[in-house]
Structure 1
Amino acid sequence: MPTLRVDDEVYAWLQKQARPFEDTPNSVLRRVAGLTGPDAAVTRATAKESNPMKRPVPTSKQLSGRKLNELWGVGAKHALYHREGTWYNNLERFPGALFDPSGYVLFATEQAYKSARQLRIGQETNVTNGISSMPGYVRIVG
């Protein structure tokens, strides 16, 4: 299957068109392009099979931002993990995401990251009450 690379603006548009926990980028493009037929049913089935809600979570010793970013299909260029969701190194590439064992917060731009009220960004990023208390937190587990 060919690989398609898109810029951040196109990726953000695709995310806005997607049905959460149902669509893949391919299924969004098929729907917008009006493509139907046998492949459409396969695309819907594949989207349901790739649903992050149904994917297993590695054990806590195996967790990392990179692994969760891949496992849950978040699409962050920089992914950081903390088991309590309260302390992280600083995000340097965007879109960037902060993960805890149950979910994540995705920042499309550096401005969105730096302007988030719950974050205290200095030498590292501290999160008051953890990322699960932030607007935009996506719960995957639990």
Structure 2
Amino acid sequence: MRIIEVDEEVFSYLQSRSEPLVDTPNDVLRRELLGKTGEAVSRATGRRDGSLTPLIEAGLVSAGDTLQHHQSRLKRTHTATVTADGWIEIPDGRAFPQPSPALKAQTGSSINGWGQYTHVPSGRRLQELREEAATHQP
């Protein structure tokens, strides 16, 4: 491990490219300079694969599939779309690498997106699909 110093401008750039509480400066530099983090990085978007990627790779979910959460008490239904790199895109155009922050952006409340989003084509919860995808791992 080597220690390097960076000026404020470079550090600000690193912060703008990081996911808070997840990435270290080294993670950002590795992704930006080498295009790898131990996770795949999409050439099209330049962002790391989202958490739905294993479901896509297992053939359980496809890019363009709809996710849905219905708030019965409020009589509201929220939809989102799975992207090719495993992210969740909500109708206002924002995209999230994890289901829970996506659902929070839609509902305003912290909700377990894995347990509450339904994959519309299969009618199954994301958590169920995640568990099935985990059994397909080598």
Q: TM-score, normalised by structure 2?
A: 0.26
Q: Which has more radius of gyration?
A: 2
